[in-house]
Amino acid sequence: MDQSIGKYHGALLRGMNSADFELLSPHLHDRFLDLKAPLESAGVPIKTVCFFESGIASVVARNRPGLDTEVGIIGREGMSGSALVMGVDWASNDCYMQMMGEAVCMDAEAFKGALQESPTLRAFLLLYVHYLHIQTRSTALSNARGKLEDRLARWLLMCDDRTVGSDITVTHDFLAVMLGVRRPGVTIALQILEGRGVIRSQRGHVTVRDRAGLLGLADGFYGQAEAEYTRLLG
């Protein structure tokens, strides 16, 4: 398989220097990730690192069954297994596919070996880890202070950033977990956004019709983490 950087769409692989990429490339393999495919489990050692080419993964915090909420979102700008960059071998949260996609993956042991061999690789990926912390901060602020429709608008914008086209495939049950609310609340929030003309909601699908309108409804809760990513990683 041709392991040149140019064949990949993921921002992290394309953004790292060629020497660091060469450390990873012999261990990389293509993988299709189906809906709900598990990537990490809280308290369990991380076995695989994936650099996303498409699709969206959710990082989900759980207190007990039925009490879980999304605390992070990862698409082609990022990777799973980021705790390894900080020298931690196990996951703090669950991580699974929210929208099916493709990734380039490698064994965690090989990834840790590359980090030990190259200080520039760790320094580069730490910028991404910092961005994830900023994203989690924005999520906490949004969940604590935003109205449900504001939070939904922010979440749809984040998904729109990570998908091709304007159609977002997601069920009401998934949205309830992502927003940390009951299913009826999701229905009401979707109706509010649809009434404003910014989305069209169908069973299992949400279509973004007016991104600028969503930005206004997000009420400032979207944009800080995204600007930080651009500043850090381009």
Q: Provide the CATH number for the domain around residue 183.
A: 1.10.10.10
Same domain membership, residue 161 and residue 126? no
Q: 165: left (phi > 0), else alpha (psi -120 to 50), else beta? A: left
SS3 for 183? helix
Helices 148-161 and 119-145: crossing angle in degrees, nearest 10, is: 150
pLDDT (tens place) for every residue of the chain, 234 residues total: 345 666 767 899 999 999 999 999 999 999 999 999 999 999 999 999 999 999 999 999 987 776 788 999 999 999 999 999 999 999 999 999 999 999 999 999 999 999 999 999 999 999 999 999 999 999 999 989 999 999 999 999 999 999 988 889 988 888 888 888 888 889 999 999 999 999 999 888 999 999 999 999 998 999 999 999 999 998
Q: Domain boundary residue among 141, 169, 185?
A: 141
Q: Distance between CA atoms of 142 and 137, rounded to whole angstroms?
A: 9
Radius of gyration of the CA atoms of the chain, in A: 18
Same structural domain for residues 111 and 70? yes
Indicate the residue among 121, 141, 161 that finishes a domain. 141
Residue 227 lies in a domain: no
Last-in-domain residue among 141, 162, 196: 141
Task: Looking at the structure, tell me whether residues 112 and 15 fall in a common domain.
Answer: yes
Which residue stretches of the chain are H helix? 11-15, 18-24, 108-117, 119-145, 148-161, 172-179, 183-195, 211-217, 224-233
> Is 39 found in the same domain as 135?
yes
Residue 133 sits in the same domain as residue 152: no
In whole angstroms, give the CA distance from residue 13 to residue 176.
32
Give the separation between CA 90 and CA 208, rounded to whole angstroms: 36
Residue 162 is given by DSSP the state T
Residue holding tokens 């019709």? 209
For residue 99, what are the contacts with CB-CB under 8 A and spacing of at least 6? 35, 55, 56, 159, 163, 168, 169, 170
Coil vs helix vs strand at 52: strand
Claim to verify: residue 99 and residue 125 sit in the same structural domain: yes
Is residue 224 in some structural domain? no
**For residue 218, which amino acid is it?**
A
Host domain of residue 203:
147-218
pTM value surpassing 0.85: yes
